[in-house]
């Protein structure tokens, strides 16, 4: 992803550099200062293999007065905790799937079956497989125990919403806009299999669960549904304190009820990813999108509390996060999640 952005913005007249974040935050900051960076295009999705630390990296930029593109650390933090994110969305009157935070396998919960069990603070479908959809108390208990054991964090148990899945990319420029809606097309998946974007469906290109979950953008939906999705996505973007760009994921029950599954404050912006599909459908070119994001960041730089003489310079830069997780390196693909 970083290379594509690098190529696009260099062609567009920006003077960019690629800066990988490895083990040392200090080295990264030193390089940013040496290069006299104007704007960091922040593509960090994890630090030391932990997605939970992506917000800390953004927080470090904020504390040091380094201007960067994308969501602020606070939005990255609250969106990472799915249960708390749900509470915030609900407080803003936005619909989500009913869910309970579970810290032990024998905890009694009042979610009807079928339910879905997932780690509360991961992303990219980590820990989400076909057997995450459970239909009886024994399977539920087993799955909860496994999540707690493997991820060392609470499990989130949600009502399983059987139905369509939509993604809405939100873009902030001088105004906030929702881009064309994308849908995961589950029609080629066997009826008996849970229709979800599991780990295999996102990351293993040759897997049948991958090939049977293509994304379609624009989604074949009518105007009223598009309008509802757009309104909810824009409201969710604001409720979670997002900035610049984000993607909001939905499920729709058979009764037409929409539920926000999550707000992704740092969505994949690779050329073959869901966010870019939406940009293309909206007629916005890749380089143009990044130009807009750089302009947003430069405007923020003019706000006095954001500036730091130390890092004020002429060269926009951008840094690349090394994907240290070997599994992610393989079959990297983005169908919307
Ligand atoms: N409550 C739910 N009802 C139906 N499907 C769900 C539900 N929660 C998650 N899923 C399925 O699992 C996928 C991943 O879940 P999500 O909460 O978005 O986690 P991640 O952050 O790992 O992407 C979703 O894209 C969807 O297909
Ligand atoms: Mg998701």
The reply to whether ligand 1 has any atom less than 6 angstroms from the CB of 61 is no
Residue 151 near residue 195 (C-beta atoms within 8 A): no
Closest atom of ligand 1 relative to the 158 alpha carbon: 1
Between CA 61 and CA 42 the distance in angstroms is: 10
What separation in Å is there between the alpha carbon of 261 and the centre of ligand 2?
7
For residue 11, what pLDDT is reported?
Answer: 81
pLDDT on residue 206: 85
Arithmetic mean of pLDDT, 181-208: 90
pLDDT > 50? residue 332: no
pLDDT at 227 (0 to 100): 97
Domain boundaries, the chain: 2-70+286-329, 99-159
List of long-range contacts for 258-262, beta carbons under 8 Å, 24+ apart: 258/95, 258/228, 258/229, 258/232, 259/95, 259/96, 259/97, 259/161, 260/89, 260/94, 260/95, 260/96, 260/232, 260/236, 261/96, 261/97, 261/165, 262/79, 262/82, 262/85
DSSP 8-state secondary structure symbol assigned to residue 306? G
pLDDT, average across residues 213-237: 97
pLDDT for 309 equals: 42
- How do 182-184 and 215-216 pair as beta strands? antiparallel
Q: Is 248 helix (H, G, I), strand (E, B) or coil?
A: strand
Mean pLDDT of 245-264: 97
What's the pLDDT score for residue 52?
86
The whole-angstrom separation of Cα 330 and Cα 337 is 16
Q: How far apart are CA 81 and CA 280, in angstroms?
A: 30
Q: Is 158 in the pocket of ligand 1 (CB under 6 A)?
A: yes
Residue 331: what pLDDT? 41
What's the pLDDT band for 173 if we cut at 50, 70, 90? very high
- Over residues 58-80, the pLDDT tens digits come to 999 999 999 999 999 999 999 99
Neighbours of ion ligand 2 (CB under 5 A): 249, 337
Question: What integer pLDDT is reported at residue 23 of this predicted model?
Answer: 80
In this model, does residue 317 exceed pLDDT 60?
A: no
pLDDT value at 257 more than 50: yes
Question: Is it the case that residue 330 has pLDDT exceeding 90?
Answer: no
Ligand number nearest CA of 134 is 1
Is pLDDT above 50 for 233?
A: yes
Kindly report the protein residue whose alpha carbon is nearest to atom 17 of ligand 1.
261
pLDDT 10s digits, 3-18 = 899 888 888 788 898 9
Tell me whether residue 254 is exposed, middle or buried, using C-beta atoms within 10 angstroms of its C-beta: 0 to 12, 13 to 18, 19 or more: exposed
The protein residue whose alpha carbon is closest to atom 15 in ligand 1 is 125
Give 156's pLDDT tier (boundaries 50, 70, 90): very high
């Amino acid at each position: 992803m970083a290379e594509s952005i690098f190529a696009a913005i260099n062609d567009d007249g920006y003077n960019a550099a690629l800066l990988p974040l490895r083990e040392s935050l200090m080295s990264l900051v030193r390089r940013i200062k040496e290069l006299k960076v104007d704007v960091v295009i922040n593509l960090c999705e994890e630090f030391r293999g932990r997605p939970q630390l992506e917000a800390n990296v953004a927080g470090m930029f904020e504390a040091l007065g380094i201007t960067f593109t994308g969501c602020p650390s606070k939005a990255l933090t609250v969106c990472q905790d799915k249960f708390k994110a749900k509470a915030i969305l609900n407080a803003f009157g936005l619909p989500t799937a009913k869910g309970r935070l579970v810290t032990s396998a024998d905890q009694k919960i009042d979610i009807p079956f079928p339910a879905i069990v997932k780690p509360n603070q991961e992303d990219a479908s980590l820990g989400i497989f076909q057997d995450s959809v459970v239909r009886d108390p024994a399977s539920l208990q087993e799955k909860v125990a496994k999540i707690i054991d493997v991820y060392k964090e609470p499990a989130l148990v949600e009502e399983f919403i059987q139905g369509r899945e939509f993604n809405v990319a939100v873009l902030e420029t001088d105004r906030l806009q929702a881009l064309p809606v994308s849908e995961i097309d589950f029609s080629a998946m066997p009826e008996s299999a849970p229709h979800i974007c599991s780990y295999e469906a996102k990351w293993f290109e040759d897997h049948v669960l991958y090939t049977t979950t293509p994304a379609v953008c624009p989604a074949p939906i009518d105007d009223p549904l598009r309008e509802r999705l757009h309104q909810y996505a824009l409201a969710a973007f604001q409720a979670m304190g997002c900035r610049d760009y984000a993607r909001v994921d939905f499920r729709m029950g058979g009764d037409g009820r929409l539920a926000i599954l999550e707000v992704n404050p740092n969505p994949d912006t690779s050329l073959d990813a869901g966010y870019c599909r939406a940009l293309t459908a909206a007629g916005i070119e890749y380089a143009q999108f990044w130009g807009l994001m750089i302009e947003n960041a430069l405007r923020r730089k003019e706000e006095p509390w954001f500036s730091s003489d130390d890092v004020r310079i002429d060269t926009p830069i951008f840094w690349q996060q090394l994907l240290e997780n070997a599994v992610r390196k393989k079959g990297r693909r983005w169908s919307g999640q």
